[in-house]
Amino acid sequence: MYHSSGSIARQAAGSGTGLLDPVGQPSDAILFQRCTWCATAMYHRLLCPVCQCGDLRTERSEGTGTVRHSTVVHRNTPAARNVSLVELAEGCVVRGRVMGPAAAIHSGDRVRLSTVKDPVRGEPVFQLLDEPYRAWS
């Protein structure tokens, strides 16, 4: 039987529902979720990947992390760009871009959030914190 959507109770977005709510939060921060049951940190999820709990709270990241994986992409862009997986200090992994030469970004490089949204792709943009020593490069 079909029921109209007007009879369905709707939850308000906010920190209690786990939905990312940019209202009232600084625009220069990455928001992530943390499971209230097992304390797992995650980025843009509806359920906890560990315990499948839906009770997630929204937290603000400090924006520092380590590059877990980086690759150079030549598709659909006029110039090569990098796509990196950054593990934030809070424990969640974020897909974004690291500023600098695409071939110079390596796993283990320390990064800090530069801007939350890339104007073209809408992904977070990070910058290198320090230049690592590369004896064989």
Task: Render pLDDT for 25-68 as a digit per residue (tens, 0 to 9).
Answer: 445 788 999 999 999 999 988 999 999 999 999 999 998 999 99
pLDDT given at position 47: 93
Q: Which residue has the higher pLDDT, 95 or 116?
A: 95
Is a pLDDT exceeding 60 seen at residue 112? yes
Higher pLDDT, 128 or 17: 128
Residue 103 CA from chain centroid, whole number: 22
Cα–Cα separations (whole angstroms), residue 46 to 11, 52, 57: 14, 9, 11
Q: Which residues are paired to 87 by β-bridges?
A: 66, 93
pLDDT for 44 equals 87
Q: Does residue 50 contact residue 42 with C-beta atoms inside 8 Å?
A: no
Tell me the two tokens of residue 75.
Answer: 């598709």
Question: In this predicted model, which residue has the larger pLDDT, 63 or 102?
Answer: 63
Question: What per-residue confidence (pLDDT) applies to 27?
Answer: 56
d(CA 90, CA 72): 26
pLDDT of residue 51: 93
pTM value is 0.70
* 91-118: average pLDDT: 86
Residue 136 has what pLDDT? 57
Look at residue 137 and tell me whether its pLDDT is greater than 80. Answer: no
Instruction: Find the length of the chain.
Output: 137
pLDDT greater than 70 at residue 130: yes
**DSSP code for 9:** -
Coil, helix or strand at residue 126: strand
| Closest of 66, 62, 84 to residue 132, by C-alpha | 66
Residue pair 33/82 in contact by the 8 Å Cβ criterion: no
Q: How confident is the model at residue 9, as a pLDDT? A: 35
